[in-house]
Amino acid sequence: MPMSKVLPFSLEPNIDENELGNARLGMWLFLISELVLFAALFVLYLQIRGHADEWPRGADYLDIPAGVLSSAMLIVSSITMMLAWNAARERKRRRFQTTLGLTILLGTAYMVIKIWEYQVKLAAGLMPSTNFFLGLYYTTTGVHVFHALCGVLYNAYLWGPGSRLWDKRPVRFANQVELAGLFWHFVDIVWLFLFPMLYLL
Amino acid sequence: MPSLKALHVLFVFLATIFAMVVGLYALGELAAGAGRAYLMIAVLSLSAAIALVVYGGFYLIKYRDSGWF
Protein backbone atom coordinates (compact mmCIF):
# COMPACT_ATOMS: atom_id res chain seq x y z
CA MET A 1 0.00 0.00 0.00
CA PRO A 2 1.46 3.39 -0.93
CA MET A 3 2.39 5.54 2.00
CA SER A 4 0.02 8.31 0.88
CA LYS A 5 -2.91 5.93 1.48
CA VAL A 6 -1.80 5.33 5.04
CA LEU A 7 -0.74 8.78 6.11
CA PRO A 8 -2.77 11.46 4.39
CA PHE A 9 -0.95 14.73 4.18
CA SER A 10 -1.37 18.07 2.62
CA LEU A 11 1.11 20.40 1.02
CA GLU A 12 -0.91 23.31 2.36
CA PRO A 13 0.79 24.74 5.44
CA ASN A 14 -1.28 24.09 8.56
CA ILE A 15 -0.66 27.43 10.19
CA ASP A 16 -3.14 29.20 12.38
CA GLU A 17 -2.30 32.78 11.46
CA ASN A 18 -3.35 34.22 14.78
CA GLU A 19 -2.56 31.14 16.85
CA LEU A 20 -5.95 31.17 18.55
CA GLY A 21 -6.78 27.49 18.15
CA ASN A 22 -3.58 26.19 19.71
CA ALA A 23 -3.39 28.90 22.33
CA ARG A 24 -7.00 28.41 23.41
CA LEU A 25 -6.48 24.66 23.63
CA GLY A 26 -3.34 25.25 25.71
CA MET A 27 -5.17 27.60 28.06
CA TRP A 28 -8.07 25.17 28.51
CA LEU A 29 -5.67 22.32 29.27
CA PHE A 30 -3.97 24.55 31.82
CA LEU A 31 -7.32 25.53 33.35
CA ILE A 32 -8.32 21.86 33.61
CA SER A 33 -5.10 21.14 35.52
CA GLU A 34 -5.90 24.09 37.79
CA LEU A 35 -9.40 22.75 38.26
CA VAL A 36 -7.88 19.49 39.52
CA LEU A 37 -5.85 21.46 42.07
CA PHE A 38 -8.88 23.29 43.43
CA ALA A 39 -11.03 20.14 43.29
CA ALA A 40 -8.43 18.45 45.52
CA LEU A 41 -8.72 21.34 47.99
CA PHE A 42 -12.53 21.10 47.95
CA VAL A 43 -12.40 17.35 48.55
CA LEU A 44 -9.89 17.88 51.36
CA TYR A 45 -12.28 20.37 52.96
CA LEU A 46 -15.25 18.00 52.66
CA GLN A 47 -13.24 15.07 54.05
CA ILE A 48 -11.98 16.98 57.07
CA ARG A 49 -15.30 18.62 57.76
CA GLY A 50 -17.15 15.32 57.33
CA HIS A 51 -14.97 13.65 59.96
CA ALA A 52 -14.86 16.54 62.42
CA ASP A 53 -16.87 16.21 65.63
CA GLU A 54 -17.78 19.89 65.52
CA TRP A 55 -17.24 22.58 62.92
CA PRO A 56 -17.41 26.36 63.42
CA ARG A 57 -19.70 28.59 61.39
CA GLY A 58 -17.80 30.74 58.92
CA ALA A 59 -19.21 33.87 60.57
CA ASP A 60 -17.54 32.86 63.87
CA TYR A 61 -14.12 33.56 62.39
CA LEU A 62 -14.59 35.40 59.11
CA ASP A 63 -15.77 38.87 58.20
CA ILE A 64 -18.86 38.26 56.03
CA PRO A 65 -19.31 41.89 54.81
CA ALA A 66 -15.63 42.02 53.75
CA GLY A 67 -16.05 38.68 51.96
CA VAL A 68 -19.18 39.90 50.16
CA LEU A 69 -17.39 43.11 49.14
CA SER A 70 -14.44 41.20 47.70
CA SER A 71 -16.84 38.84 45.89
CA ALA A 72 -18.63 41.82 44.32
CA MET A 73 -15.28 43.15 43.13
CA LEU A 74 -14.40 39.88 41.46
CA ILE A 75 -17.81 39.60 39.78
CA VAL A 76 -17.61 43.15 38.40
CA SER A 77 -14.01 42.54 37.30
CA SER A 78 -15.09 39.62 35.11
CA ILE A 79 -17.64 41.86 33.40
CA THR A 80 -15.01 44.57 32.80
CA MET A 81 -12.67 41.85 31.47
CA MET A 82 -15.32 40.84 28.97
CA LEU A 83 -15.78 44.49 27.98
CA ALA A 84 -12.01 44.77 27.48
CA TRP A 85 -12.04 41.77 25.14
CA ASN A 86 -14.90 43.27 23.15
CA ALA A 87 -13.08 46.62 22.98
CA ALA A 88 -9.93 44.87 21.72
CA ARG A 89 -11.92 43.09 19.03
CA GLU A 90 -13.71 46.29 18.03
CA ARG A 91 -10.39 48.24 17.98
CA LYS A 92 -11.48 50.79 20.58
CA ARG A 93 -8.24 51.46 22.38
CA ARG A 94 -9.36 53.97 25.01
CA ARG A 95 -12.26 51.76 26.05
CA PHE A 96 -9.92 48.78 26.15
CA GLN A 97 -7.45 50.57 28.43
CA THR A 98 -10.23 51.80 30.71
CA THR A 99 -11.97 48.45 31.09
CA LEU A 100 -8.80 46.39 31.45
CA GLY A 101 -7.43 49.00 33.87
CA LEU A 102 -10.61 48.63 35.93
CA THR A 103 -10.19 44.85 35.90
CA ILE A 104 -6.65 45.23 37.24
CA LEU A 105 -7.78 47.69 39.93
CA LEU A 106 -10.66 45.48 41.08
CA GLY A 107 -8.41 42.42 41.20
CA THR A 108 -5.86 44.38 43.22
CA ALA A 109 -8.59 45.62 45.57
CA TYR A 110 -9.71 42.02 46.10
CA MET A 111 -6.17 41.05 47.12
CA VAL A 112 -5.83 44.06 49.42
CA ILE A 113 -9.06 43.09 51.23
CA LYS A 114 -7.83 39.51 51.57
CA ILE A 115 -4.48 40.60 52.99
CA TRP A 116 -6.30 42.93 55.40
CA GLU A 117 -8.45 40.00 56.51
CA TYR A 118 -5.33 37.90 57.07
CA GLN A 119 -3.70 40.68 59.10
CA VAL A 120 -6.74 41.12 61.34
CA LYS A 121 -6.93 37.38 62.01
CA LEU A 122 -3.23 36.92 62.58
CA ALA A 123 -3.17 39.91 64.95
CA ALA A 124 -5.99 38.24 66.90
CA GLY A 125 -3.88 35.09 67.20
CA LEU A 126 -5.96 33.10 64.68
CA MET A 127 -3.21 31.11 62.98
CA PRO A 128 -3.49 28.38 60.36
CA SER A 129 -2.51 25.97 63.13
CA THR A 130 -5.32 27.13 65.45
CA ASN A 131 -7.81 24.62 64.04
CA PHE A 132 -8.69 22.74 60.86
CA PHE A 133 -11.15 25.39 59.73
CA LEU A 134 -8.56 28.16 59.78
CA GLY A 135 -5.93 25.88 58.28
CA LEU A 136 -8.23 25.21 55.33
CA TYR A 137 -9.24 28.87 55.13
CA TYR A 138 -5.65 30.10 54.85
CA THR A 139 -4.67 27.32 52.44
CA THR A 140 -7.56 27.61 49.98
CA THR A 141 -7.82 31.39 50.00
CA GLY A 142 -4.01 31.68 49.88
CA VAL A 143 -3.88 29.53 46.74
CA HIS A 144 -6.72 31.57 45.30
CA VAL A 145 -5.05 34.91 46.08
CA PHE A 146 -1.91 33.63 44.36
CA HIS A 147 -3.98 32.87 41.25
CA ALA A 148 -5.59 36.30 41.44
CA LEU A 149 -2.10 37.84 41.63
CA CYS A 150 -1.06 35.90 38.50
CA GLY A 151 -4.22 37.10 36.73
CA VAL A 152 -3.60 40.72 37.69
CA LEU A 153 0.01 40.50 36.46
CA TYR A 154 -1.15 38.86 33.22
CA ASN A 155 -3.68 41.65 32.66
CA ALA A 156 -1.16 44.32 33.63
CA TYR A 157 1.23 42.95 31.02
CA LEU A 158 -1.47 43.21 28.33
CA TRP A 159 -2.36 46.71 29.50
CA GLY A 160 1.29 47.82 29.44
CA PRO A 161 4.14 46.28 27.42
CA GLY A 162 1.96 43.61 25.80
CA SER A 163 -0.17 46.25 24.08
CA ARG A 164 2.65 46.76 21.56
CA LEU A 165 0.74 44.24 19.46
CA TRP A 166 -2.29 46.54 19.30
CA ASP A 167 -1.06 48.08 16.04
CA LYS A 168 1.29 45.36 14.81
CA ARG A 169 -0.99 42.32 15.06
CA PRO A 170 -4.43 43.41 16.26
CA VAL A 171 -6.22 40.07 15.83
CA ARG A 172 -3.51 38.23 17.70
CA PHE A 173 -3.62 40.84 20.46
CA ALA A 174 -7.40 40.44 20.84
CA ASN A 175 -6.84 36.68 21.07
CA GLN A 176 -4.29 37.19 23.85
CA VAL A 177 -6.83 39.29 25.72
CA GLU A 178 -9.31 36.44 25.31
CA LEU A 179 -6.84 33.99 26.86
CA ALA A 180 -6.25 36.33 29.80
CA GLY A 181 -10.03 36.62 30.11
CA LEU A 182 -10.41 32.83 30.24
CA PHE A 183 -7.92 32.67 33.11
CA TRP A 184 -9.52 35.57 34.96
CA HIS A 185 -13.01 34.06 34.62
CA PHE A 186 -11.67 30.77 35.95
CA VAL A 187 -10.24 32.53 39.02
CA ASP A 188 -13.59 34.24 39.62
CA ILE A 189 -15.65 31.07 39.13
CA VAL A 190 -13.49 29.26 41.71
CA TRP A 191 -14.24 32.07 44.18
CA LEU A 192 -18.00 31.66 43.58
CA PHE A 193 -17.65 28.18 45.10
CA LEU A 194 -14.97 28.99 47.65
CA PHE A 195 -16.84 31.85 49.32
CA PRO A 196 -20.04 29.96 50.24
CA MET A 197 -18.01 26.94 51.34
CA LEU A 198 -15.86 28.92 53.78
CA TYR A 199 -17.99 31.91 54.75
CA LEU A 200 -21.60 30.76 54.63
CA LEU A 201 -21.77 27.03 55.39
CA MET B 1 -12.59 24.75 22.67
CA PRO B 2 -15.17 27.08 24.22
CA SER B 3 -14.55 30.77 23.69
CA LEU B 4 -14.53 33.47 26.34
CA LYS B 5 -18.14 34.20 25.42
CA ALA B 6 -19.18 30.68 26.49
CA LEU B 7 -17.27 30.91 29.76
CA HIS B 8 -18.68 34.38 30.41
CA VAL B 9 -22.25 33.19 30.00
CA LEU B 10 -21.53 30.32 32.43
CA PHE B 11 -19.95 32.83 34.80
CA VAL B 12 -22.99 35.15 34.71
CA PHE B 13 -25.27 32.16 35.39
CA LEU B 14 -23.16 31.05 38.37
CA ALA B 15 -22.77 34.61 39.67
CA THR B 16 -26.56 35.05 39.58
CA ILE B 17 -27.05 31.91 41.68
CA PHE B 18 -24.24 33.08 43.97
CA ALA B 19 -25.89 36.48 44.50
CA MET B 20 -29.23 34.82 45.28
CA VAL B 21 -27.61 32.43 47.77
CA VAL B 22 -25.79 35.30 49.52
CA GLY B 23 -29.00 37.37 49.57
CA LEU B 24 -31.03 34.52 51.08
CA TYR B 25 -28.27 33.80 53.60
CA ALA B 26 -28.29 37.45 54.68
CA LEU B 27 -32.09 37.39 55.02
CA GLY B 28 -31.77 34.29 57.20
CA GLU B 29 -29.20 36.01 59.40
CA LEU B 30 -31.43 39.07 59.59
CA ALA B 31 -34.36 36.95 60.73
CA ALA B 32 -32.07 35.45 63.39
CA GLY B 33 -31.37 38.92 64.75
CA ALA B 34 -28.22 39.98 62.87
CA GLY B 35 -27.37 43.67 62.43
CA ARG B 36 -28.21 46.18 59.72
CA ALA B 37 -25.15 45.22 57.67
CA TYR B 38 -26.97 42.02 56.74
CA LEU B 39 -30.01 43.97 55.54
CA MET B 40 -27.72 45.90 53.22
CA ILE B 41 -26.04 42.69 52.04
CA ALA B 42 -29.46 41.10 51.36
CA VAL B 43 -30.76 44.09 49.39
CA LEU B 44 -27.55 44.53 47.40
CA SER B 45 -27.14 40.81 46.67
CA LEU B 46 -30.71 40.31 45.48
CA SER B 47 -30.47 43.51 43.41
CA ALA B 48 -27.20 42.20 41.94
CA ALA B 49 -28.93 38.93 41.03
CA ILE B 50 -31.59 40.84 39.10
CA ALA B 51 -28.96 43.06 37.48
CA LEU B 52 -26.97 40.00 36.40
CA VAL B 53 -30.04 38.43 34.78
CA VAL B 54 -30.68 41.67 32.87
CA TYR B 55 -27.01 41.96 31.91
CA GLY B 56 -26.88 38.32 30.79
CA GLY B 57 -29.93 38.77 28.55
CA PHE B 58 -28.52 41.99 27.13
CA TYR B 59 -25.17 40.35 26.50
CA LEU B 60 -26.69 37.35 24.72
CA ILE B 61 -28.70 39.63 22.44
CA LYS B 62 -25.84 42.01 21.66
CA TYR B 63 -23.30 39.29 20.92
CA ARG B 64 -25.62 36.66 19.44
CA ASP B 65 -23.48 36.52 16.26
CA SER B 66 -20.25 35.95 18.17
CA GLY B 67 -19.07 32.32 18.19
CA TRP B 68 -19.33 29.98 21.18
CA PHE B 69 -16.33 27.91 20.09
pLDDT above 70 as % of chain B: 100
Contact B25 A200 (CB under 8 A): yes
Please spell the DSSP secondary structure of A84-118, one letter per residue: HHHHHHTT-HHHHHHHHHHHHHHHHHHHHHHHHHH
Rounded to 5 degrees, φ, ψ at A74 are -65, -40
Specify the amino acid at residue A47: Q
Prediction pTM value: 0.91
Chain A residues in contact with B37 by the CB 8 A cut-off are: 64-65
Please count the residues of chain A. Answer: 201
d(CA A183, CA B41): 28
- What pLDDT is recorded for position B68? 83
pLDDT at B34: 83
Residue of chain B whose alpha carbon sits nearest to that of A177: B4
Contacts of B41 in chain A (CB under 8 A): 64-65, 68
Instruction: Kindly determine whether residue A178 and residue B11, on different chains, have CB atoms separated by under 8 Å.
Output: no
Q: Do A78 and B48 touch (CB under 8 A)?
A: no
- Cβ separation of A64 and B21 shorter than 8 Å? no
Nearest CB to A85; choose among B4, B22, B52: B4
Q: What's the pLDDT at A8?
A: 57
CA angle A146, A186, A98 (to 5 degrees): 85
Does residue B19 carry a pLDDT above 60? yes
Q: Which of A98-102, A197-201, B58-62, B63-67 has the lowest mean pLDDT?
A: B63-67
Q: How far is CA A33 from the centre of its chain?
A: 13
How would you write the pLDDT of chain A (201 residues) with one tens digit per residue?
555 555 556 666 555 655 667 888 999 999 999 999 999 999 999 999 999 988 999 989 999 999 999 999 999 999 999 999 999 999 999 999 999 999 999 999 999 999 999 999 999 999 999 999 999 999 999 999 999 999 999 999 999 999 999 999 999 899 999 999 999 999 999 999 999 999 998
**Residue B53: per-residue pLDDT:** 97
